[in-house]
Amino acid sequence: MTISEDITKMVGKKKLHFSLLDPDKQKPEDAGLIAKIAEDAGSSAIMVGGSTLLSQQQVDETVKAIKENTSLPVILFPSGAKFLSKYADAVFFMSLMNSRNLNYIVREHVKGAPFIKQSGIEPIPMGYVIVEPGMTAGKVGEVDLVKKDDIETAVGYALASQYLGMDFFYLEAGSGAHTPVSNRMVEAVKKNINIPLLVGGGIRNIKTVKEKANAGADIIVTGTTLEKEKNLKQALCDIINAIEE
Ligand code: 1GP
C-alpha cells in the first residue's frame, strides 16, 4: 500500500494529526527528538519543509535524523525543487493554486519531477491554498490570498483541485497565523469535496483543534507548537486527543 493510500484509509476511520518540522527552525538532532515525541503522542506523519530553507543538505540532515528516531512516514512539504530529499518517504507534490508565480504552480514541479522519479520517493498530489493572513508562506509564495470570509473562492479552489486529480487538499492560514482558517470555511470546503482535507496555520490549542476537526478537517497540521511548547509531549497528547474525540 502506498503512503497516500494508507493515509486515505486511516482518514476513513479517524481524524489525524501531522507534525510539521521546518529544518530552518532547529538542528537536525533536535528535529529527530521532536519527531520521536510526536510519534509517541500519536501524530500520524512528519511533514518536513518551510518557506525560508537554505539548502538541500539542511533538508537531508533533518530527514535523516527524523528517520533514525521514528517509524512515522516522512513527507516533504517543499517550497521548491531544490529542497527535495532522497531520504524522505514521500513528497506532497503540491500546487500552490493561488500563487501569482507559475514556479509555485507547476514550474518547480517540472524541475523536481525527474529527481522524484530517480529517488523513488512517493509523490502525493495535493492542491494547496493559502488564506489570509498567509504569513511568510503567503509572501514568499507570491499568493493572492483568499479573503478570510470568501467561502465561495475557497470552495472553488478545493473543487478545482479535486477535478484536477489531486489526492488531498490543504487549506492553510500560514505558519504562526493569529487567526486560523474559519470554521465556516472548513465546513463549506469539506461539504463540497470528497478528497481528504488538511487544515493548518495558527492552530495551537485544544479549543481550536476541536473546532477545526468538528468543522470537517480530516488532518490537522501543527508546526509552531512543536517549536514553542515546553512540555511538548503533554501539549501534543492533548491536541491529538482533542482531534480524535
Ligand atoms: C504549516 O502553516 C502550517 O503549513 C503550520 O502552522 O506553525 O501555525 O502551526 P503553525
**Does 141 sit in the ligand 1 pocket, CB within 6 Å?**
no
Which residues, in sequence order, are bridge partners of residue 18?
A: 45, 221
Domain 3-244: which CATH class? alpha beta
**Is 200 close to ligand 1, i.e. is its CB under 6 Å away?**
yes
Residue that has been written with the C-alpha cell 511568510 in this structure: 136
The closest residue, in CA terms, to atom 3 on ligand 1 is: 201
Give the pLDDT of residue 155. 98
Q: Would you call 50 helix, strand, or coil by DSSP? A: coil
Q: What are phi and psi of 59, to 5 degrees?
A: -70, -45
- For cell 507548537, the residue is 225
C-alpha 23 – ligand 1 centre gap (Å): 14
Ligand 1 center–CA 47 separation, angstroms: 11
DSSP string, 44-102: -EEEE--SS---HHHHHHHHHHHHHH--S-EEE--SSGGG--TTSSEEEEEEETTBS-H
pLDDT of residue 52: 84
Helix ranges (H only) for the chain are: 3-11, 28-41, 56-69, 102, 108-119, 135-140, 151-163, 183-192, 206-215, 224-228, 232-244
Q: How far is the CA of 75 from the centre of ligand 1 (A)?
A: 15
**pLDDT for res 216:** 98
Element (H, E) at 54: none
Residue 122 CA to ligand 1 centre (angstroms)? 23
Distance 162 CA to ligand 1 centre (A): 23
The pLDDT assigned to 51 comes to 85
Pocket test for ligand 1, best of 22, 224, 227, 228 (most atoms within 8 A of CB): 224
Atom of ligand 1 nearest to the CA of 204: 9
**175 HSE (CA, 13 A, CB side):** 22
Segments in the chain below pLDDT 70: none
Domain boundaries, the chain: 3-244
